[in-house]
Structure 1
Amino acid sequence: MSRRKTERQLNLVICLLSTRRHLTAQEIRKTVLGYAEAESESAFKRMFERDKRELRDSGIPIQVGTGDAVSGEEGYRISRTDYELPEIELLPDEALVLGLAARAWRHASLGEAAANALFKLRAAGVPVDTEAAPGLTPAMRTDEPSFGPVWQAVRDRRPIAFDYRKPGQERAERREVEPWGIVNLRGHWYVVGHDRMRGARRVFRLGRVRGEVTVLRGGPDVVAPEGVDLRSVVAGQHTEPERSAVLRVRTDAAHDLRRGALRVVPGERDTSGGGWDTLTLPYYDTPGLVRRVASFGARAVVVEPAGAREAIAAHLAATAEPAASAGGSDGPAADGGSGAPARGPRSADQLRRLLMLVPYALGRDVRVPEVAEHFGLSERQVVADLSLLWMCGLPGYTPGDLIEVDLDAARETGEIIIGNADTLAQPLRLTADEAASLVVGLALLEALPEAEGLEGGALKRVGEKLRAAAGAAVASLADAVQVRVEVDEQVADTQRRCADALDAGRRLHLRYLSGYLDQVTERHVDPMGLVVQDGYPFLEGYCHLRGDVRLFRLDRVLELTVLPEAARVPEGVGRRDLSAGVLQRSERDTVVTLDLDPSARWVTEDYVCESVAELPGGGVRATLRTPAPAWVVRLVLGLGPACRVAAPAEVAEEVRAEAARALAHYGAGAVR
């Protein structure tokens, strides 16, 4: 980082804000401290052009006009109207939902943008509190490495090029796309746009992008067709099921199949209460039906149609046979890329911090630790920023022109005292990323039942105020990023009842279908909060069965009863840290290594993996952790010959044994 560069750029901002006319480049060279260091005219031009570009990238609007009326030479200034954040007045309920909207990105790549937006709003006197309503935890994750550059391309309306591997393909294909927007559906991000290679509208799941995304700078801006509904385009990728299968399933088993069945006919029970039930199950295609039923092993059998019955028998036969590992490297996957939007050089980061800090500190009791925590810096770095600020000011740079900073107070008591900084007293306007992160976060809040109870439509009101303050360009970006949690009526009702119990402080009784095991358990739960993450709503609460805090996905709640007794969370028990996601890892987890064919690469997209390494032929070796090895057995049974358990050996053997038990239900003559 160049300290002198940051000083020069800050002095340039102060100079261009304070001038009433456009200054020519030569006037700036003579006036602004730092440009005299340029050894030649060409060196100055390069330095000045770079500074202008970096200031504009930071959201600082440099206006171009006539600087010299005689020669017609260009001049530059910063219009305060374009620079300063417009006045925003928020009612208490509006400030609450805005803080919640920023919280949605806390653990994602746009978390910094959302946090900086709130910092600027607080500097403008807007009373935003991100810790209000602690029972609500909206959360959005952007784990896909391609998210950052795709967001940037949508923001700047630029085409993109990338390598894309469809499910079942051995090799990725090059695509060149004009992106219209980004959609989050069920926790996965998709980009919708015009595929130049195919000459048609296409949808691409960001988790299937391989390598880096290139933002194409040439050509006209991308314009989305008028009236296109991005979420409908993504959601419409699947057609309605046109076929149905008849299955037999064991009593108290195959609960996921039961929930999707059109009809369930109970069968006869033996003396122990066990037996078989008959289900009628809708399905899209035979391979999908085979994977779904095979995952339940010997507890589910396809009766008809005959083609599906033969297909699952062949699938199980191949799974039951011992298979040699495909081998390959244990190293990390070659696919790279950053998960966050591109950041500028560190001097640009420091400049943005200073331009936010000055209006925030003026007239407020602000401490070094608070600033350090917000920006993720050490307290020593904050003091270094303040010492740099002390060297900047209005052209002339006499003691009366320089910004006043009490460095002794900052070092000794942590108090930040800034004076003589009227030029920078108003907070900088929100950048496109900052404003859009809040607007998109507001859309996520609509999935929470508590949003319905906000008096006077606070969500709508604060969204309108934010869009008006940010400008048309930001509103356009926010409209191009669609985030919505799609839940059916039953889940929405469960969510509302959980929210009511949370408000009333009442204990809940749940019949809950385990996400790891084909098992329904009875739970007494003291609710602690609601979480929306990875596209799904969760109840967070103290589970008396497990004696610990647990997250319950609401679409797996089979029955919910609000009990008359009060919820009593044990003293000292707190909510979970979700910075790493809903999945909680433990040293007690079983480490499993899977060799996946190209058709099964989606496993690395849908599940958190410790490592992913490429194998010959387009497959991958994935290593993951799980507290329930039985879940891995179900996963591999569903994948069949497209997956082999490389380790541990006992899991591989259990997969083969269960496949053999399931195959016995079909008879030797069924395999062709």
Structure 2
Amino acid sequence: MSASRTERLLNLLIALLNTTYGLRRSELREKVYHDTSSTDVAFGRMFERDKGELRRFGFDVETVTDKGWGSDDPATTRYRIGKDSNRLPDVSLTPAECTVLMLAAQLWEHAALGSAALNAVRKLQASGGLVDAELPAGVQPRIRPAGQAFEDLVAAMHAQNPVSFRYLAGSTGREEERLVEPWGLGSRFGQWYLVAHDRARGDKRFFRLSRLTSAVTVLAQERFTPPADFNMRAELAGLAELPVRTAAVDVEPGRLRGLRKRALPGPASGTGPASDTTAGPTATGRDRLDVPFRDVETLAEELASYGPLAVAVSPPELVSSVRRRLAAAADFAAAPVPPVAFPAIPSAAPYPAAAFPSGKPRPGRKRTSEDQLSRMLQLVPFLVHNQGLHISDVAQKFGITRQELEADLRILICSGLPEGYPDDLLDIQWDDDHVTISEHLDLNRPVRFTVEEACALLTGLETLNGLPELAEGSALESVTLKLMAAAGEEGLKAAALSGPEVGPGNSAALETAREAIRTGTQLRLRYFSPLRDTVSERNIDPLRLYSLDNTWYLEAYCHSAQGLRNFRLDRIEALESTGLPASETAPPGSSFPVKLFTPNDDDTVVVVELTRRGTGLADEYYAERTAELPGGGLLAEIRFGSTDWLPMFVAQHGGTARILQPEELAAASRTWLAAGLANYED
């Protein structure tokens, strides 16, 4: 959509909203389109496209036909949009409900639903239903969706388009092409599942997203109709957990303490509770471990990351999966390198953190004219309910620069009724840097939630049920009921999505950390670092807790490192109070969502190439600059404080990511992959 089309659609919308009788196509062509050159057929096609675009933004274009005349006669057919057409009902929330709602919206940081959640929050802000709320330090969960496949499947599910992908069948171990109708997505047992109608098999099937071996292809020209009463949570409730199996893994002596701790004790592995004993060397000089597991692909991803330090011995499907991942990573690392070039100005994020509590926008996809029109439709009602805000505050609320906001405002003030007088235009003033609006032309209420926006908020609220701090019957239940009523039919479609459990695994450490944060007490920590393969003890000043799915992190000032650090709760071996007050050396980070690392000036800037399946990693690691590549891939420039683990990163992602610069890191990853593959040559 070009900028001129954005302005035309806005004027068309205003014209159709502000007519009771309706406007004929000829009137719209003359007064809104000012079209004198195209044929009737060409104009008709353009008008139909524009009507479809307005419907996509939530406005129902009504067709009114004069009595006694056929509806196919343009001269007797009129068009209008009702003033209450698809408008968001008034929603009034208490401060406690707003807190819960913000937590639910911020669950979706690394996903397309993060953008939808932000838009939904803006609509509530624009309607005046959202008040300022302070997020609790101890409850800041997030959901980590399953990569780009999740994004593509959510889009296809809501658009009701079939999809195809290659899938590693668990029963046969073979890769197969699947053509399915996606009905729902959900997380259970730490895995994301797709429930879909498999066209080739003529029946419903479950697909683990970790077993997809190709990008998802959406068949945008085809449609399907899902079951009317489909509920993803109910489908997952009947899913049996995978049985526990045992894998034989050979490990370099004295290495991979974390894997040794999980291994079964006994003479075969030589591991004990302290994981300090080792078995006798195998023929290759390594230690044989018996490692329990449930999902082959999950363990294979971990073992592939270890490269030459670990070798899968059995079962055969595990060996095959590890080898496949290492081979794919090695092939990608050896492929021709594309030109490395980034845009001069980083693209703004589609859902910047600045729109929630204060923080800097993250780089993401380039903004489009569709984004601009959607934003302007939220901007007008927001200004109506927030008169006199400073222009910089308005820009921050919408996660854009002042220049972008002023470009929006200049389009708005030139928009209005067709051939109207100056009083028939949108009237917005910002001469003194405080934005006021005195004429809104019936754009003063935001449109209803889209299905993506309803899914993002309602699924987020459902996910929060797993937190003990948000008991049922409280603000969580009341805000859910209010949003269900506001979302209408779109809210019912949220049943097609089900989030993961976000309750912490190490609840004792979480409670100790939460109490220390509340009382401002210093803690003594014994922590296992998988990167260094060591256990260290240190004193920390706890600042706040947050999570990715059910993996919880403690952000703290570390006195040993003399800086902010993030500690995974499941890697904390001991945590106790020192009885000393925490210092005020460093406050917690000012923005949320919290980054998993704090960038510094001496970090290494790394250029990573990502395939289409791996593009989500750019957001996950807070890329500072990105550039699109042919075929849907991406170049990403990312800062890393430590680079020793990057060969493991490349191996773990099995051919979806590689290091391009610096060359010494790219060479180190190729060496790591070659050494890992050498273990499987036999």
The answer to whether structure 1 residue 118 and structure 2 residue 116 are counterparts is no
- Partner residue, 1:386: 409
Among residues 495, 499, 502, which one is paired with 1:483 in the alignment?
Answer: 499
Q: Which residue of 2 aligns with 1:466?
A: 483
Aligned to 1:67: 65
CA contact (8 A) 2:165 2:216 kept: yes
Residue 547 of structure 2 corresponds to which residue in structure 1? Answer: 532
> Aligned with 2:84: secondary structure?
helix
State the distance in 2 between where 1:197 and 1:232 align.
23
Between the aligned partners of 1:205 and 1:135, the Cα distance in structure 2 is: 31
**Structure 1 position 566 matched with structure 2 position 570:** no
Q: Which residue of 2 aligns with 1:258?
A: 261
How far did 1:581 drift?
A: 5.4
Partner of 2:358: none
Aligned 1:133-148 pairs, distance under 5 A = 133=136, 136-141=139-144, 144-148=147-151
* Residue-by-residue CA offset, 1:603-633 (whole Å, 9 max, x unaligned): x99997999xx9xxxxxxx999977777679
Q: Report 1:143-292 matches (<5 A).
A: 144-164=147-167, 173-184=176-187, 189-200=192-203, 201-205=205-209, 208=212, 210-211=214-215, 213-223=217-227, 226=230, 229=233, 232=236, 236=240, 239-242=242-245, 254-259=257-262, 261=264, 276=278, 282-283=292-293
Deviates more, 1:246-255 or 1:575-584: 246-255
2:568 corresponds to = 553
Tell me, yes or no, if structure 1 residue 397 matches structure 2 residue 420.
Answer: yes
Paired with 2:497 and 2:243, the residues of 1 have a C-alpha distance of: 26
Compared with structure 1, are the counterparts of its residues 445 and 4 closer, same or farther at alpha carbon in structure 2 (3 Å cutoff)? same
| Structure with larger Rg | 1
2:476 counterpart letter in structure 1: L
What secondary structure is seen at the aligned counterpart in 1 of 2:93? coil
CA-CA distance at 1:55 after TM superposition: 0.8
Q: Over residues 117-165 of structure 1, what are the superposed CA-to-partner deviations in whole Å (9 max), with x where a residue is unaligned?
A: 2222122111343664355433345583344332121112332234556
Displacement of 1:367: 2.9
> Would the aligned equivalents of 1:180 and 1:224 in 2 still touch at CA under 8 Å?
no
Q: 2:440 aligns with which of 393, 415, 421?
A: 421
The count of residues paired between Structure 1 and Structure 2 equals: 620
CA contact (8 A) 1:192 1:234 kept: no
- Pairing of 1:308-323 with structure 2 (within 5 A): none
Distance 2:366 2:408 in 1: 17
What amino acid maps onto 1:67 in structure 2? T
Distance, in Å, in 2 between the alignment partners of 1:116 and 1:609 is 21
Q: Which residue of 1 aligns with 2:596?
A: 582
Structure 2: segments with no counterpart, 5+ residues: 72-76, 281-288, 341-348, 352-363, 609-613, 630-635
- Quote the offset at 1:247 in angstroms: 10
Cα separation, 2, equivalents of 1:373 and 1:561: 40
Match of 1:370 in 2: 393
Query: Structure 1 44/512 Cα, relative in aligned 2: closer, same or farther at 3 Å?
Result: same
1:282-361 pair list within 5 angstroms: 282-283=292-293, 327-331=334-338, 346-361=368-383
CA contact under 8 A between 1:90 and 1:462: conserved in structure 2?
A: yes
User: 1:57: Cα distance to partner?
Assistant: 1.4
Alpha-carbon distance in structure 2 between the residues aligned to 1:112 and 1:151: 13
Q: Is the 8 A contact 1:250 1:277 kept in 2?
A: no
Q: CA deviation at 1:54?
A: 0.9
CA distance in 2, matches of 1:263, 1:283: 17
Deviations 1:8-44 (A, max 9, x none): 32232223323335554345446x5335556432233
User: What amino acid is the match of 2:5?
Assistant: K
Q: Which residue of 1 aligns with 2:346?
A: none
Offset of residue 372 of structure 1: 2.5
After TM superposition, the structure 1 = structure 2 runs for residues 485-524 of structure 1, keeping only pairs within 5 Å, are 485=501, 490-524=505-539
For residue 114 of structure 1, report the CA deviation from its aligned partner: 2.2
**CA distance 1:232–1:225, shift in 2 (3 Å):** same
Change (3 A) 1:145 1:377: same
The answer to which of 85-94 and 129-138 deviates more is 129-138
**1:291 and 1:441 mapped to 2: Cα distance?**
28
Q: Which amino acid aligns with 1:526?
A: D
Question: Cα RMSD (Å) of the superposition?
Answer: 5.6
Distance 1:391 1:605 in 2: 38
Q: Is the 8 A contact 1:443 1:484 kept in 2?
A: no
Q: Aligned partners of 1:285, 1:211: CA distance in 2, in Å?
A: 21
Q: What is the deviation of 1:470?
A: 0.8
Offset of residue 285 of structure 1: 9.6
Deviation per CA, 1:516-562: give whole Å up to 9, x if none. 23322223222211112265221111122322211111222223324
**2:500, 2:549 within 8 Å by CA — same for their partners in 1?**
no
CA change 1:563–1:458 in 2 (3 A) is farther
SS in 2 for 1:110: helix
State the match for 2:632 in structure 1: none
8 A Cα contact 1:637 1:659, kept in partner: no
| Structure 1 residue ranges without an equivalent (≥5) | 334-338, 595-600, 615-621, 664-670
Superposed displacement of residue 176, structure 1: 1.3
1:6 alignment counterpart: 6
- CA distance in structure 2 between the partners assigned to 1:268 and 1:12 by the alignment: 72
Partner of 1:668 in structure 2?
A: none
* 1:54 maps onto 2:53 in alignment: yes
* Kept after mapping to 1: 8 A contact 2:153/2:216: no
Contact kept? 2:137, 2:545, Cα under 8 Å: no
After superposition, give the CA deviation of every residue in 1:475-512 in whole Å (9 maximum; x if it has no partner). Answer: 31x22222223557x52343333333322322233322
CA distance in 1, matches of 2:554, 2:544: 6
Call closer, same or farther: CA 1:215–1:252 in 2, change over 3 Å: closer
- Identical-residue share of aligned pairs (%): 32
- Give the distance between the partners of 2:545 and 2:507, measured in 1 at CA: 12
Partner Cα separation in structure 2 for residue 525 and residue 15 of structure 1: 62
Evaluate the alpha carbon distance shift between residue 373 and residue 153 of structure 1 in structure 2; reply closer, same or farther with a 3 A threshold.
same
Within 2, Cα distance between the matches of 1:161 and 1:656?
A: 32
129-138 or 256-265, which deviates more: 256-265
Range with greater deviation from structure 2 (118-127 or 18-27): 18-27
TM superposition score normalised by structure 1:
0.73
Pairwise CA distance, 1:78: 2.1
1:349-378 alpha-carbon deviations (Å, 9 max, x no partner): 333232222221125222322333344444
1:301 and 1:109 map into 2 onto residues whose CA distance is: 37
Q: Distance in 2 between matches of 1:206 and 1:134?
A: 32
Q: How does 1:19-30 map to 2 (within 5 A)?
A: 19-21=19-21, 23-29=23-29
